[in-house]
Amino acid sequence: MTRIAVTGGAGRLGRSLVAGLAAAGHELVSLDRAVSEAGELQGLQQIAVDLTDTDAATRAIADTRADALIHLAAIAVPFSAPEDVILRTNATMALNVMSAGVAAGIPKIVTASSPTVLGYNCPTGWLPDRFPLDEETTPKPWNAYALSKHLAEQTVAMLARQTGDATRFAAFRPCYVIAPEEWQGALTQQGHTVRERLADPALSAPALFNYVDARDVATFVETLLVALPEIPNAEVFFVGADDALARRPLAELLPQFVPGTDDLAAELTGTAPAFSNAKARRVLGWRPAHTWRGELGEPLTDAGPANAKGSDSTPDSAPTPDSARKDVLA
């Protein structure tokens, strides 16, 4: 059993993460702005702290006496606050929390980043070198949220340079997180249901149809914590499902929403996702256990090219910069 401190443990991802890690036999302590009544946190130690306050964060993290620290706390939705507030809050918390972890001698420190560091939905256009996107794809953040996540990754790299291998770090980029209750109809982060997201590809297009079940993030983190001493320090991992959150192949859908991707996306046939999870599989031996079809009880047959002209309502134009700005996902 490991004693694991999770910042943002009361949040959308945090609740599933602490529940999954506790169910796996670990001892959890959650640090968040306030003590939460959420069922997943009942019986766990909770510390209420504003992690933008350097002294308070340093004290609170030392008090956890944890063996591992997972930093999730953030303003998690782009444009949900003024740009300067998002940048200052997220960058300050990443530095405070992870530096406090180093100062407290916590040997394993992991931060949540985001796929948005890559820069898709940029109002002036965006094209990657190739699909699927992976850890080699060049980050091109275009808003304060994505920049703050890029900075969190760079904070990991910076602290690893400072500490050598005495502390083991990693950053992970969870795809659009779907909590267990959201398969049953609860609203997802963007305020609609999973079924609505599938019925209208315009809802999932801003995330390039990526997703991950929150329980799979928990198994990823658990696997990562075990592997950290053995793998290169300060690695970055995408954490996504094996398939795309779409009823039609991305080779067909992406060009409708990301102008210029006709040729680049041509390989994304069948259920192939835009984001590769191959590195996590190769380096850690981790694989997601959940798919949207499995969770919704839908057969695989509707994903293939044979159903390429399905009945989903698909807008016939790409999102405007304004709608991209509003809909851009964490």
Shortest gap between Cβ of 93 and ligand NAD (angstroms)?
Answer: 6
Is residue 45 involved in binding ligand NAD (CB under 6 A)?
A: no
- Could you tell me the smallest distance in angstroms from the CB atom of residue 252 to ligand NAD? 24
The edge-to-edge listing of strands for the beta sheet with 68-71 is 45-48, 27-32, 3-7, 68-71, 108-112, 168-174, 235-239
Residue 92 lies near ligand NAD (rule: CB under 6 A): no
Part of the chain binding ligand NAD (CB under 6 A), chosen from 62-70, 133-141, 172-180, 285-293: 172-180
Q: What is the DSSP string of 154-216?
A: HHHHHHHHHHTTSSEEEEEEE-SEE-HHHHTT---TTSS-HHHHHH-HHHHGGGTT--EEHHH
| Per CB under 6 A, 189 contacts ligand NAD | yes
Whole-angstrom Cα distance, residue 321 to residue 12?
Answer: 27
Hey, is 97 helix, strand or coil?
helix
Q: How many CB atoms lie within 10 A of CB 13?
A: 24
If binding is defined by CB under 6 A, does position 52 make contact with ligand NAD? yes
According to CB under 6 A, which one of 8, 132, 249, 288 is a site residue for ligand NAD? 8
By the 8 A CB rule, do 217 and 17 touch?
A: yes
Query: Is 330 one of the binding residues for ligand NAD (CB under 6 A)?
Result: yes
Stretch that binds ligand NAD, among 49-57, 153-161, 247-255, 306-314 (CB under 6 A): 49-57
Tell me how far, at minimum, the Cβ of 29 lies from ligand NAD, in Å: 13
Is 26 or 150 the residue whose CB approaches ligand NAD more closely? Answer: 150
- Any contact of residue 14 with ligand NAD (CB under 6 A)? yes
Question: Which residue's Cβ has the minimum distance to ligand NAD?
Answer: 11
Question: Of the candidates 12, 117, 158, which has an alpha carbon nearest to the alpha carbon of residue 74?
Answer: 12
Cβ–Cβ < 8 Å for 165, 228 = no
Closer residue to ligand NAD in complex, CB, 16/167: 16
Six token digits for residue 12: 């959308």
29 binds ligand NAD (CB under 6 A): no
Question: Distances from the Cα of 244 to the Cαs of 20, 81, 175, 290, in angstroms?
Answer: 23, 29, 11, 12
Which residues, other chains included, contact 11 with Cβ-Cβ below 8 Å and sequence gap of 6+?
32, 72, 73, 76
Residue 221 near ligand NAD by CB under 6 A: no
Query: How many residues in the shown chain lie near ligand NAD by CB under 6 A?
Result: 23
Region of 11-19, 260-268, 270-278, 299-307 interacting with ligand NAD (CB under 6 A): 11-19
Residue 276 near ligand NAD by CB under 6 A: no
Q: Does 273 bind ligand NAD (CB under 6 A)?
A: no
One-letter amino acid at 44 equals L
* Radius of gyration, alpha carbons of the chain: 19
Which stretch, 7-15, 135-143, 192-200, 280-288, contacts ligand NAD (CB under 6 A)?
Answer: 7-15
Q: Closer CB to ligand NAD, residue 184 or residue 320?
A: 184
Give the nearer residue to ligand NAD in terms of CB position, either 239 or 251: 239
- Interface with ligand NAD, residue 114, by CB under 6 A: yes
Query: According to the binding rule CB under 6 A, does residue 208 interact with ligand NAD?
Result: no
Task: Using alpha carbons, select from 36, 53, 43, 3 the residue that is nearest to residue 14.
Answer: 36
Continuous segment of H or E residues that includes residue 71: strand 68-71
* Closest separation in Å from C-beta 328 to ligand NAD: 11
**Given the rule CB under 6 A, which residues bind ligand NAD?**
8, 10-14, 32-33, 50-52, 72-74, 76, 93, 112, 114, 174, 176-177, 189, 330
